[in-house]
Amino acid sequence: MSARPTIADLVRFVKHEARLIDEKRFDEWYELFTDDAYYWVPAAPGQTDPLLHNSLAYEDKLLLRLRIERMKSPLAYSQRPASRCLHVLQEPDIEKADHEGGEYLTRTPFIYTETRNDDSQRYAATAWHTLVWSQDRLRIRLKRVDILNCDAMLPSIQLFL
């Protein structure tokens, strides 16, 4: 990448991030996040605050690490057999590009499918990535996933949207 990311770099990063999840390369995925990062899945449409309202997920980097380690454990009953997933992404839109501040916001509508045994779940959602340019690379400061029907009775999502 150049001294600052191009639009193509931002798009490639978002696609790569989804691929790491699909391929269960969770340790590599984890390294995409800044130390102060959060992964947030709101529980209500239009939710503006993860602390004043329940969320489906609001995890800092430590909680992400714990979830990854749990999924690797042979004692994780919910992962016998292991879940599989696939993201089908639309082209990410660049909503904000602050080259001086080194912060970027992308919006990516997608369809997510997760399967385990005969069970299959599908979700329509939008991923919002707040990316920062740090040490000559992009990293995720916040990943927010707005599931279209987030306020419905949802089964347990095992992997990461």
On whether residue 1 sits in a domain, the answer given is no
Query: What are the phi and psi torsion angles at 56 (to 5°)?
Result: -70, -35
Residues 88-114: tens digit of each pLDDT: 999 999 999 999 999 999 999 999 999
pLDDT over threshold 90, residue 135? no
To the nearest 10°, report the CA torsion of 73, 62, 133, 8: 30
**Mean pLDDT over the full length of the chain:** 92
Q: Which residues of 17-27 are buried (b: 16+ CB within 10 A; e: fewer)?
A: bbebbbebebe
On whether residue 25 sits in a domain, the answer given is yes
Q: How many CB atoms lie within 10 A of CB 108?
A: 21
Joined together, the tokens standing for residue 2 give 């150049």
To the nearest 10°, report the CA torsion of 140, 142, 146, 152: 120
On whether residue 2 sits in a domain, the answer given is no
Kind and range of the H or E element at 69? helix 61-72
| pLDDT confidence band for 83 (50 / 70 / 90) | confident
Strand partners, 128: 107, 144
On whether residue 152 sits in a domain, the answer given is no
Q: Are strands 137-147 and 119-134 parallel, antiparallel or unpaired?
A: antiparallel
Compare 78 and 70 and report the one with higher pLDDT.
70
Number of domains present in the structure of the chain: 1
Q: What is the pLDDT of residue 157?
A: 80
Domain boundaries, position 89 = 7-147
Q: What is the pLDDT of residue 1?
A: 45
Hunting for tokens 């980097």 — which residue is that?
A: 61
Residue 110's domain is classified under what CATH number?
A: 3.10.450.50
On whether residue 158 sits in a domain, the answer given is no
48, amino acid identity? T
Q: How many CB atoms lie within 10 A of CB 78?
A: 11
